[in-house]
Amino acid sequence: MNYLFSSDRLEGFANLRNFFPSRLEYNDYLKWSANHFNDYVLLYGHKVVSINPIYDGHLIDHLEICIEDNNKTISKLYAKNISLATGITKNIPVGIFLDEKNKKIMHPNDFLNNLEHEFNDKNSDYKFLVIGSGQSAAEITNHLSDHYPNIELCLRNL
């Protein structure tokens, strides 16, 4: 919507009554979107090998991200914040400082199947942390608040 407004195409696009953009318009949208990230480090064609916390005393100060390029060269990046988009299929990078075998840490693909098994008392005062900012995170947050009235619920971007 912001793209359509910024490019003075919102009214024309809405009046088409066809919400499928042409390839040219979609390409223009992708270029417009990419330009918004010029001040950030974006790497394509790299594999995240590990994400490790760097502590300042007992608190996490920043993260060390080990990446591998197409030539199998390992590099390290350091950041206070990262956006981890693992995709639709479950893919938690090895070494992400979470216990991947812990059933209480759930990818959206496992959420409904594991939720009632691990958290079967709907009136308990469980504490939940939902990490993400997409549709799945919103739906999980909504589901938890609808079905567990006494929980403490926190939603965070990773």
Place of tokens 């300042």: 56
> Residue 47 in contact with residue 78, Cβ under 8 Å?
no
Do the strands 47-56 and 127-131 form a parallel or antiparallel pair, or are they unpaired?
A: unpaired
Overall pTM surpassing 0.75 (yes/no): no
Instruction: Look at residue 119 and tell me whether its pLDDT is greater than 90.
Output: no
Instruction: Look at residue 152 and tell me whether its pLDDT is greater than 80.
Output: yes
3-state secondary structure of 156: strand
Q: Pick the more confident residue, 128 or 98.
A: 128
